[in-house]
Amino acid sequence: MKNPVFTGAGVAIITPMYEDGSINFDELGRIIEDQIAHHTDAIIICGTTGECSTMTDEEQLAAIKYTVDVVNHRVPVIAGAGSNDTDHGCALAAKSAECGADALLMVTPYYNKTTQAGLVAHFTAMAEAGGIPVIMYNVPSRTGLNIAPETALELSKHPLINGIKEASGNISQVAKIAQLCGDELNIYSGNDDQVVPLLALGGKGVISVVSNVKPELVHNCCKAFFDGDTAKAESCLASSLPEDAKSMIISSIPQGATVSIEGMDQSMTETTAKVKASLSKGGEQEYTVKFVRSDNHIGWAVSSLDIDLSAADNQ
């Protein structure tokens, strides 16, 4: 069993800059203090939202070192140190660890993609160069490369490969990773609209963009789930988002609900059906669900959601 780097809501923090493109460290310090004051559970510096792809190595390492110094062990600091160049990634990993980061966030290679065996070699080399826990970052919509569940299993055997930020959007894949890896790989949601489903699959939290503006809300969402209040966890994020975002919330069926499925064609490998969940405390949630059959199980993803938020808030 591997202890998670953090549990709850970690912020994929922005990197404030002056008009000339240089880092505004004073503002970064203010933002960090605000995040900690509002109960964020970890700071992820120089991730995608932190604009690491537009920084020089010197800027990136300066931002990491500054963040480590300001945080001063109050919450874990996770440094973005990924690269599509393994040698470059190894150098960044080692230098980020020297800056005092608690863990590293490493994205898959992008553009010059590799095989699944190449992913194992890539992440293994960078983890060993850094010498501190690694959270892999799977975001195939951006990189064009997916970490397959079987590859996640192989990598989970390495003592320094601690977790995975799963942003594939494929709940079936996340379920397979959880099934194969168990407690040897900690799963974090990489999508703010999939926090509750990933927690329901045993996830340890979320690396959140929404936390930049509502850190306490996302923290409370995770806390509510861990406290056993699934309905509150679902309503936390849903009630705070605009209408177009609400329709993107992919929610696990609430505990205690009676579920009915209509229109599912089990002879097909893919089918769309209506799912109605009659809640134990009254009211009904209706989903349009796309079911995708894999080798030995049916996985599903919610393509749209019609939910009475006022009813959810009263549960």
SS3 272: strand
SS3 186: strand
Question: In which band, very low, low, confident or very high, does the pLDDT at 129 lie, cut at 50, 70 and 90?
Answer: very high
Residue partners of 3: CB distance under 8 A and separation at least 6: none
Residue 176 annotated among the catalytic residues of the structure: no
Range of weakest confidence among 199-203, 223-227, 241-245: 241-245
pTM of the model: 0.77
Fold type of domain 8-246: TIM Barrel (3.20.20)
Residue 111 annotated among the catalytic residues of the structure: no
Residue 296: DSSP 8-state = S
**Annotated active-site residue in 2, 66, 95, 137:** 137
Cβ burial, residue 297 (10 Å; 0-12/13-18/19+): exposed
SS3 185: coil
Going from N- to C-terminal start, the domains of the chain cover: 8-246, 258-308
Share of the chain above pLDDT 70, in %: 75
Q: Which region holds residue 154: left if phi is over 0, alpha if psi is between -120 and 50, else beta?
A: alpha
Q: Mean pLDDT score of the chain, rounded to an integer?
A: 84
**Annotated active-site residue in 165, 204, 214, 223:** 165
Cα(141)–Cα(138) distance, integer angstroms: 9
SS3 281: coil
Cβ burial, residue 158 (10 Å; 0-12/13-18/19+): middle
Cα(101)–Cα(143) distance, integer angstroms: 25
Residues making up the chain, counted from first to last: 315
The larger pLDDT score, comparing residue 281 to residue 184, is at 184
pLDDT reported for residue 236: 77
